[in-house]
Amino acid sequence: MKRIAVLTSGGDAPGMNAAIRAVVRTGVHYGMEVYGVSLGYEGLINGKIALLGTREVGGIIQRGGTILGSARSLEFKTEAGQRKAIRNLNQMGIDGLVVIGGNGSQAGSHALSKQGFPVVGVASTIDNDLFGSDITIGVDTALNIALEAIDRLKTTASSHQRAFLVEVMGRDCGYLTLMAGIAGGAEYVVIPEVDVDPEEIAARLAKSYDRGKEHAIVVVAEGAKYNASKLDEYFQTHRERLGFDLRMTILGHVQRGGNPGAFDRILASKLGAAAVETLRRGEHGVLVGQIRNEIKTTSLDIVASTKKPLDLNLVELARILD
Ligand code: F6P
């Protein structure tokens, strides 16, 4: 393999730049030409593909976001769009593609692979909902950003003896919320995987106050049936009866925008380099991820058809430690 391309797709994640850098520098190390595709699959369809040298990826390891840009492409979901993308790659003599992204992006890799183009995916999403990697690029940094917010909210919550709802991203996966709840010492976590009754939360918070706590933090996943806005509405409606003052904070995209920490920079460097090694040894149609602390490949067929399980024992832990 002499000429490869790399793209970032879907929601950006801190560490994507470190992965791009690793792909480019590993490729160059092995005498390959490495091309960068702008704006994900959209750029692949529109031929936005340019040669990247080691200098072009200098000074980016510490930067959040992605220098290549990212997009969610509707056209690429069609077979016509996928054929257009493959035509562009073939015309440029590119014989391998690295796709850095999460579930939607790796569904795209899977589609390209099924059409016969050699693709290797790199596991990257703050949601940590991608099968084939215990932890994905961006999770650790996003989690630390959520924690910083929770720690700050606890301070002001204690001063005012208030309860706070903090909404954390993660689409329909509760991983980030659960981990932020445990690491942030939250009084309650609300995740999509576990049904919850607002009255139970209220009773729990009342008990916390009875135990002499000065604050109560409820960490809520954006994908939960009762997300922060719905819980806020419920608690405001029943405020008199429930008897505590409540505020809501939605972290939203703040969580995605940070500079990657050491963990994500290292993970991204390992996975980016491994993606190139994988293509080089002629293996493709796979996702490169970290499983039990080792870099492993998993078939995109399996990745696309398997839901990553969430360890629900940790919900119990969060309850015990509240
Ligand atoms: O998949 C990453 C993610 O940040 C999710 O946590 C969130 O639900 C979604 O992307 C937001 O998407 P967008 O950036 O397109 O609003």
Q: What is the pLDDT of residue 207?
A: 85
pLDDT of residue 241: 81
Q: Tell me the average pLDDT of the chain.
A: 95
Residue 319 clears pLDDT 80, i.e. is over it: yes
- Nearest atom (ligand 1) to Cα of 72: 15
Band of residue 239 on the pLDDT scale cut at 50, 70, 90: confident
The answer to whether residue 311 is catalytic is no
**Is 129 a pocket residue for ligand 1 (Cβ < 6 Å)?**
no
Mean pLDDT, residues 51-69: 97
Residue nearest to atom 9 of ligand 1 (CA): 171
Average pLDDT over residues 296-314: 96
Neighbours of 13 (CB within 10 A): 31
| For helices 103-114 and 79-91, angle between their N-to-C axes, nearest 10 degrees | 70
Identify the band that residue 212 occupies on the pLDDT scale cut at 50, 70 and 90. Answer: confident
pLDDT for 245 equals 81
pLDDT attached to residue 222:
98
pLDDT digits (tens, 9 = 90+) for 261-293: 999 999 999 999 999 999 999 999 999 999 999
Report pLDDT digits (tens) over 7-54. 999 999 999 999 999 999 999 999 999 999 999 999 999 999 999 999
Read off the pLDDT of each residue in 306-310 and give the average, rounded to a whole number: 96
The closest-lying atom of ligand 1 relative to the alpha carbon of residue 176 is 6
Q: From residue 7, how far is each of 40, 65, 74 by CA, in Å?
A: 5, 13, 16
- This prediction has a pTM of 0.96
Q: Does the C-beta of 171 come closer than 6 Å to ligand 1?
A: yes
Given the CA of residue 103, which atom of ligand 1 is nearest to it?
Answer: 1
| pLDDT at site 73 | 92
> What are the DSSP E strand ranges found in the chain?
3-8, 33-37, 49-52, 96-101, 119-123, 163-168, 188-190, 216-221, 246-250, 286-291, 294-299
Contact 294, 45 (CB under 8 A): no
Considering the candidates 127, 140, 264, 322, report the single residue annotated as catalytic: 127
| pLDDT digits 0-9 by tens, 86-138 | 999 999 999 999 999 999 999 999 999 999 999 999 999 999 999 999 999 99
